[in-house]
Amino acid sequence: MEQSGTSTRLADAVQGLTSELVSALRSGGPFALAAAVSAADGPAAVRVVGADAVLPSVLRRTPAGPDDLAVFSGAVRAYPPPPGASPTSVWSHWAMKRTLLRLGGTLDAPHDGVPEHNGSPEHDAEPLATWLDGASWQSLTHQLAVLAPLAVPGGDCAVTRVARGRPVDVARGFVRAVRRRDWLQAAGAGRWLVLLDGVPDTLGLEAGLAFVAQMGCADPRVTLQVEAARLMRTGAPV
Amino acid sequence: MTSTRLIHTVGTGALEWLHAHRDGFRLEQDVDPEVGFLERFKPVGELALICKVLFREGVAGSRQAQLARQLIDHAWRDTLDGGRMLLRGQRIEPLSPIPFEVYLPFKELGYSHPEAEQAFRLNQGLESFHAFELPPTRRLGLSAFQRRFGLPARPPESEVIGRTWLGRTPEPWTVEGHIAYDITHTVFHLTDWGENPDGIPAPLVDYLATWLPAWLDDWLDLERWDLLGELLVVDACLPHPTLDERAWEGFAAAQQPDGAMPAVRTMPQGDPEELFDLVYHPTLVAAFASVLATSRALTQLAHAPA
């Protein structure tokens, strides 16, 4: 019962954080991660949302506050991928580390509230993307959608290079996800497609994103992906 | 790569079933006027079209060719009473294109009924025939049949393509069952049922080559065998067929030991006539897809480096 209660609390925290992120992306107003999560469930919720927990700062290139970076850094430190973790788990954690460092944060625990130093290069060592070698377009799209936080302007890495090489396959995966009413996967795939060259015009990506947003509006995670895609498409600095 | 043997076997099984159940291709002489005498013509026309494809592609074994010949003879002689039923149907509904559509593949296979032809020519000269409201895909098919018959295509097919769903290349993620059938039939008409793959305009070839894999995947997983079979025909109509291995294996696995192909998921239950009406179409489609895909696989083989 306790487990169930904890799960529900975490789900609520994730939903709350996601909704705050959507509001910030839509309004363009300030976003304070530290204020959007509680001390109890915050780190876990941030780990679930991943690098997107600071998406407004990333897409708008606005600095994140020290309190926000401390919360974000705490989640990175608290939930490293366990041995044998899935590639998506490893990559999602790596995306958080990279984002933290790019925003000027540190991976080290603060002493007396003052960061000791910035992350060293080994913190940023990129995982391998070999698990995507030869992946079917169906599987590729699914994996990319799970790793949607990697789909940010200028976010070059092995996964984005795989995606760039297979725009038609990701577009097919988008079609598949919409047909299956898998709005979260469709939204994640749509976010990737915004960043890719060579997406067939006949896909109707812009209308597709609007359609996914409308059909999947009950889930703020869907809305977050679509808002991210729209911002990248229309105005975020690249 | 999909085994050509597997693709071919689907067709031989389907033809065995169709031949064994050929009495299912029947008209209802005393049908309720509310239903209409022409209601049961469609299966006969589809059978003739598929048999024509089978003879044309030349990939049938001698037993298959013999079964197909017996089937088409049966349909013409017994079901259509040597064409007299077509004339009767045309007299009941002079503006219906159905008797003409059923007649054309028989004519192309060497059967003939001059009186019926005379009726078709007269009725198709009526302005009302051209004003007759039909969905664009059906109108496209009728124009193609007029051309094949030697009549002026009114309107020309090039004018109709843009009115079809496929001709407008809309968002591929909106495709559902009815749209998918419109797509497959547009391709059938544009290619003269697979005979002329060059009949698909280049932008539509690109569109189909790009999105067909997503639709195949979807209807395979939904176990909609009738539609999947038609989509496999579309694949075989493209310049570079994928002969999608997963789709063909799933399709073949759905076929019954006696060759029948269920329309959806598993075989339905019912008396023999009900059962025939439920599975004749997917089984015809299985024969059609198999013949075309086998032919394309052999072509690929012929062009492969030694």
pLDDT tens digit sequence for A65-88: 999 999 999 999 999 999 999 999
- What is the pLDDT confidence band of residue A6, given thresholds at 50, 70 and 90? confident
Do A105 and A94 belong to one domain? yes
Same domain, A6 and A116: yes
Task: Give the Cα separation of A111 and A103 in Å (integer).
Answer: 19
Query: Residue A124 has what pLDDT?
Result: 61
Q: Which residues contact A12 (CB under 8 A, 6 or more apart)?
A: A41
How distant is the Cα of B133 from the closest Cα of chain A, in angstroms?
29
Q: Taking 50 as the threshold, does the pLDDT of residue A116 lie above it?
A: no
pLDDT of B71: 96
Asked if residues B191 and B236 have their Cβ atoms less than 8 Å apart, the reply is no
Question: Chain B: residue nearest A176 by CA?
Answer: B214
Tell me how far apart the alpha carbons of residues A198 and A55 are, in angstroms, rounded to a whole number: 26
Domain range for A196 is 128-238
Per residue, the 3-state secondary structure of chain A, as one string, reads CHHHHHHHHHHHHHHHHHHHHHHHHHHCCCCCHHHHCCCCCHHHHHHHHHHHHHHHHHHHCCCCCHHHHHHHHHHHHHCCCCCCCCHHHHHHHHHHHHHHHHCCCCCCCCECCECCCCCCHHHHCCCCCHHHCCCCHHHHHHHHHHCHHHCCCCCCCHHHHHHHCCHHHHHHHHHHHHHCCCHHHHHHHHHHHHHCCCCCHHHCHHHHHHHHHHHCCCCHHHHHHHHHHHHHHHCCCC
pLDDT digits (tens, 9 = 90+) for B37-72: 888 999 999 999 999 999 999 888 889 999 999 999
Residues A117 and A53 occupy one common structural domain: yes
Average pLDDT over residues A37-45: 89
pLDDT of residue A111: 60
| Chain segment B226-269, per-residue pLDDT in tens | 999 999 999 999 999 999 999 999 999 999 999 999 999 999 99
Q: Are residues A180 and A207 in the same domain?
A: yes
A147 and A174 together in one domain:
yes
Question: What's the Cα-to-Cα distance from A166 to each of A47, A149, B77, rounded to whole Å?
Answer: 28, 18, 55
What is the number of structural domains in chain B?
Answer: 1
- Does residue A4 share a domain with residue A29? yes
From B171, B175, B217, residue closest to A138, measured CB to CB: B217
pLDDT band at A237 (very low <50, low <70, confident <90, very high): very low
User: Which CATH number does the domain housing residue B144 bear?
Assistant: 1.50.10
What CA–CA distance (Å, rounded) separates A211 from B84?
A: 53
Is the same domain home to A5 and A119? yes
Same domain, A76 and A147: no
**Mutate which of B173, B175, B220 to test chain A, going by most A C-beta atoms within 10 A?**
B173
For residues A86 and A33, membership in a common domain is answered with yes
Dig out the tokens for B31 from the structure: 């049908």
Q: Do B214 and A204 touch (CB under 8 A)?
A: no
To the nearest whole angstrom, how far is the Cα of A213 from the nearest Cα of chain B? 14
Query: Residues A17, A101: one domain?
Result: yes
Structure token digits, residue A74: 């705490």
pLDDT range class, residue A108, cuts 50, 70, 90: confident
Give A3's pLDDT tier (boundaries 50, 70, 90).
low
Residue B187 scores a pLDDT above 50: yes
Same domain for A99 and A9: yes
- What does the pLDDT read at residue B306? 64
Within 8 A of B215 by CB-CB distance, chain A residues are: 175
Yes or no: say if B263 and B280 are a contact pair by the CB < 8 Å rule: no
Q: Is the ipTM of this complex over 0.95?
A: no
Chain mean pLDDT for chain B = 94
- Domain boundary residue among A125, A158, A184? A125
Mean pLDDT across the stretch A12-27?
Answer: 95
Read off the pLDDT band of A107 (50, 70, 90).
confident
If one counts the domains in chain A, the total is: 2
For residue B196, give its domain range. Answer: 4-303
